[in-house]
Amino acid sequence: MNVGHGRKEIGEAMAAQASNIASYSSFGECTTAPTIELADMVASVSPVPDSKVFFTSGGSDSIDTALKMSRRYWTLQGKPSKKVIVFRENGYHGMHAGGTSIAGIPPNNDGYSELVEDVVRVPWDDADEMIATIDRIGEENIAAFFCEPIQGAGGVRIPPDLYLQTVRKACAERNILFVADEVINGFGRCGDWFASTRYGLQPDLMTVAKGLTSGYSPMGAVIAAPSVWETFYAPSAGVWRHGYTYGGHATAAAAGIANINIMMREQLPAHVARLEDKFAAALRTLEDLDVVSEVRTGVGFLGGIQMADPNTAPAMYAKCRDAGVISRAIWGGALQVAPPLTTTDAEIDEMVALFRVGLTS
């Protein structure tokens, strides 16, 4: 809920659109006015100039779309051997077949193994090992590297300094697509419109969802750089037979437009950037508790409270909820903290005080 609950402006925009044209398929040559308007708005805040937007129904759809787009791109380039998808341990990329196959969180593909072949995992924080791995496999075999700039469900893990820039450069030098998964990071969460903007990554493909509508309606998207989308528009490319019934859903698009208008008007990414140090310092005061071993934070409004005993995380989540603060228990035994981007200085103090009550109850 990037802009917070109860935003009547978003509800009214959705109601107005639903009373006109609630939805129309974006396949073929037709779509709806709000879908086009939202695509233009998303492209305008994208970290990649002249990008184009492919709408989906959510984050998992976006990941599978980006995976298929990556492989088809290289086929259209006359390099069909470039199929391997490289991903990071602790990474979360949704629950569809593609996302399950590149799950860096072991329980997320337990019992399924890889539903998509030719996927390779690398450490989440070691750029040298990532580069050694792709060089061993060979750039002629690798389609893309999928990367959450700041890992969310995998523990709220912030990579070492220059890690992101190093792996991005390595991909560019080896003709490997860099896919930034910004489903959690995007739309202001990291103190800029996108983590890719903050770190100067300019991804080839970028997946988004949650913050696109602030959760008021299910919607996702893949944002493509010109170097990728131009290949799909070439006359020789033919029709790309991929899409979803509700991709670009008109009522969802109306929610997205209203949501981004609020973010722009209230300058929420800048608001998060101003308060991120306060947010981090306040959360870190919880490290004095015996039940907490570490607090991982420092980028935007995103934090992870690591339990000294990882097995206690679900119970601690429930205690904190009962105390009046909502978080969630995530992989590795941490509580993920991701408040609305509208959160004030005083509300940060109140939130941390409630965590202290819950964690000591």
CATH number at residue 353: 3.90.1150.10
Q: In this structure, are 260 and 276 located in the same domain? A: no
Domain closes at, from 236, 265, 294: 265
Q: In this structure, are 261 and 338 located in the same domain? A: no
Q: In this structure, are 205 and 304 located in the same domain? A: no
Strand order in the sheet with 328-330: 292-296, 303-307, 334-337, 328-330
Cβ count near 159 (within 10 Å): 22
Show Cβ contacts of residue 296 under 8 Å, excluding neighbours closer than 6 positions.
155, 156, 157, 158, 303, 304, 306, 334
Per-residue pLDDT, 25:
86
| 102 to 151, 224, 259, 269: CA distances (angstroms) | 14, 20, 30, 30
Running DSSP on this structure, what letter comes out for residue 160?
P
Show Cβ contacts of residue 75 under 8 Å, excluding neighbours closer than 6 positions.
none
236 in a domain, yes or no? yes
| Structural domains in the chain (count) | 2
Domain closes at, from 204, 237, 265: 265
27 — pLDDT class (breaks 50, 70, 90): confident
Q: In this structure, are 288 and 250 located in the same domain? A: no
* Residue owning tokens 């019992």: 111
114 — pLDDT class (breaks 50, 70, 90): confident
Q: In this structure, are 60 and 90 located in the same domain? A: yes
Q: In this structure, are 130 and 201 located in the same domain? A: yes
Average pLDDT for the chain: 97
Per-residue pLDDT tens over the stretch 182-219: 999 999 999 999 999 999 999 999 999 999 999 999 99
142 in a domain, yes or no? yes
CB-based contact 130:139 (threshold 8 Å): no
Q: What percent of the chain has pLDDT over 90?
A: 94
Structure tokens at 324: 């009046």
Q: What predicted TM-score, i.e. pTM, was given to this entire model?
A: 0.96
Structure tokens at 178: 């860099």
Residue 88 domain boundaries = 8-265
3 in a domain, yes or no? no
Q: In this structure, are 251 and 344 located in the same domain? A: no
Nearest CA among 359, 351, 300 for reference residue 334: 359
Q: In this structure, are 261 and 275 located in the same domain? A: no
Q: In this structure, are 256 and 277 located in the same domain? A: no
